[in-house]
Amino acid sequence: MVAGLLFIIGLVSVLVSVVMLGLGAPGVLQMAQAALAAPDASYLAVAMDVARTTSWSVAPIVGGLLLMGVARIIMLLAAINRSLRGAA
């Protein structure tokens, strides 16, 4: 039960973060294209600006994936425990 709840929380965290990134993507792309169109364009500076703009999403995505992984481990351990007990 707890493992399923952890998995759902992690999944929602990842999906909401990806959707929010997708909603902000057009603005980030316009900013990057405008910066690259400048005569003194620096690819490193543009990449750092894009990373700075989207850096908020790293923690929820990684955290959600970790929660989902922990939930799968708990589910696996519970299944092993049930199978070792035998037919009850």
- Half-sphere exposure of 18 toward its Cβ, with a 13 Å CA cutoff? 11
Number of domains in the chain: 1
The answer, as to whether pTM is greater than 0.85, is: no
Q: What is the pLDDT of residue 1?
A: 85
Q: Render pLDDT for 32-79 as a digit per residue (tens, 0 to 9).
A: 999 889 888 889 999 999 999 999 999 999 999 999 999 999 999 999
- Print burial letters for 1-17: b (CB count within 10 Å at least 16), e (below 16): eebeebbeebeebbeeb
Amino acid symbol at 8? I
Domain that holds residue 46: 2-85
22 is written with which tokens? 């997708």
